[in-house]
């Protein structure tokens, strides 16, 4: 029987682990296109510039001090926050109002879902150009319709208040399509047993939405709040196309001010522009952290 025992196989030599080495190309790309620009921007934010815009001597935190103490800069920050809150609220509430009626099987539901999600396919520039034609003071579509009805339309893009509203509406419409896609998926996955039990208990209409549906889709609402807030804090294209920051800098946001400082003409001030970029990054991180602490806690306890 010993002659029938197969010979033992020699253990193959241990192969080197290639996993960590396979991540090297990705880490190099991240270092070149993320960490190096970030470090360069922080370094530039502590520098002054000469008449040609080249970084010169170190000025420490002077750029940050001027940015945080300048009344015009505080106004730009307030404008950015106002536009962000308004656009996120309108986009999310509008998407929720559009999606909830489509949770039932009605005729043309697929068509309505397609139409409501179309803004997601547009670029910010093309969407803003459509709103520019809509709100143009003399030849705009909206004022033309109002004139036909016997009303005189307001100067949409020449009045500070109306201009803020127009930029917020353009941004909300641009974000509306993505919100519809996210909430459509969330509503489609609602447990039918829970909804039927709630309806049998007498919950319907606003009460059903507030007490049952919204808590069930709160993770999706939380996701939209975070992503759209980050996008809203970086509003640029809508302002450039519609108002270019006017009138009287009423719609100037942080990114628009950054662009003016660095590339807007005249002597570029890369130090001040880099300080704005760093403050914007810190603001995005702060707002996102607060949302995770507050909204996520409500999601987990609901």
List per-block mean pLDDT (blocks of 10 residues) for the chain, which spans 302 residues.
Answer: 56 66 90 91 88 80 88 92 94 90 73 82 88 86 88 88 94 92 88 77 75 85 90 92 90 93 82 91 88 68 58
Do residues 245 and 296 touch, judged by C-beta distance below 8 A? Answer: no
- Nearest one of 90, 111, 79, 110 to 224, comparing CA atoms: 90
Between CA 142 and CA 153, with CA 147 as vertex, the angle to 5 degrees is 55
The three-state (H, E, C) secondary structure of the chain, written as one string? CHHHCCCCCCCCCCCCCCHHHHCHHHHHHHHHHHHHHHHHHHHHCCEEECCCCCEEEECCCHHHHHHHHCHHHHHHHHHHHHHHHHHHHHHHHHHHHHHHHHHCCCCCHHHHHHHHHHHHHCCHHHHHHHHHHHHCCCCCHHHHHHHHCCCCCCCCCCCHHHHHHHHHHHHHHHHHHHHHHHHHHHHHCCCHHHHHHHHHCCCCHHHHHHHHHHHHCHHHHHHHHHHHHHHHCCCCHHHHHHCCCCCCCCCCCHHHHHHHHHHCCCCCCHHHHHHHHHHHHHHHHHHHHHHHHHHHHHHHHC
Q: What's the pLDDT at 299?
A: 56
Neighbour count for residue 11 (Cβ, 10 Å): 6
pLDDT for residue 68:
84
Q: Which residue has the tokens 């896609």?
A: 181
What pLDDT is recorded for position 300? 59
Question: What pLDDT does 3 receive?
Answer: 54
55: Cα separation from own chain's centroid: 31
Q: Which of 100, 230, 121 is nearest to 174 (CA)?
A: 121
Query: What is the per-residue pLDDT for 218?
Result: 87
Q: What is the pLDDT at residue 188?
A: 85
Sign of CA dihedral 281, 283, 289, 291: negative
Q: Which two tokens stand for residue 286?
A: 């702060």
Positive or negative torsion for Cα 153, 154, 155, 161:
negative
pLDDT of residue 251: 94
> pLDDT value at position 88?
94
Q: List beta partners, residue 58.
A: 47
Q: Which tokens hold the place of 138?
A: 């003399």
pLDDT value for 219: 86
Give the model's pLDDT for residue 243.
92
| 231 within 8 A of 175, measured Cβ to Cβ | yes
| Angle (nearest 5°) at CA 137 between 175 and 168 | 20
Task: Report CA-CA distances (Å) from 229 to 48, 79, 81, 87, 288.
Answer: 32, 14, 9, 9, 8
Whole-model pTM?
Answer: 0.84
């Amino acid at each position: 029987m010993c002659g029938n025992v197969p010979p033992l196989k020699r253990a193959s030599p241990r192969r080197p682990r290639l996993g960590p080495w396979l991540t090297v190309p990705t880490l190099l790309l991240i270092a070149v296109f993320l960490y190096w620009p970030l470090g360069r921007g922080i370094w530039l934010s502590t520098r002054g510039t000469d008449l040609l815009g080249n970084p010169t001597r170190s000025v420490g935190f002077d750029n940050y001090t001027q940015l945080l103490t300048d009344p015009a800069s505080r106004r730009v920050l307030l404008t950015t926050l106002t536009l962000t809150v308004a656009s996120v609220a309108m986009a999310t509430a509008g998407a929720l109002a559009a999606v909830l009626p489509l949770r039932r099987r009605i005729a043309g539901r697929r068509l309505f879902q397609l139409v409501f999600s179309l803004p997601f396919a547009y670029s910010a520039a093309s969407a803003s150009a459509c709103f520019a034609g809509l709100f143009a003071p003399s030849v705009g579509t909206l004022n033309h319709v109002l004139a036909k009805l016997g009303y005189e339309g307001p100067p949409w893009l020449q009045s500070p208040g109306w201009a803020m509203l127009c930029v917020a509406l353009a941004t909300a419409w641009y974000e509306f399509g993505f919100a519809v896609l996210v909430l459509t998926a969330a509503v489609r996955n609602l447990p039918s047993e829970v909804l039927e039990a709630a309806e049998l208990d007498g919950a319907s209409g606003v009460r059903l939405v507030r007490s049952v549906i919204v808590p069930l889709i709160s993770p999706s609402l939380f996701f939209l709040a975070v992503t759209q807030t980050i996008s809203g804090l970086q509003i640029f294209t809508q302002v450039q196309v519609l108002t270019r920051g006017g009138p009287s800098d009423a719609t100037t946001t942080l990114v628009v001010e950054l662009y003016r400082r660095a590339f807007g003409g005249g002597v570029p001030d890369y130090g001040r522009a880099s300080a704005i970029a760093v403050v914007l990054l810190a603001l995005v991180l702060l707002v996102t952290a607060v949302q995770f602490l507050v909204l996520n806690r409500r999601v987990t306890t609901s």
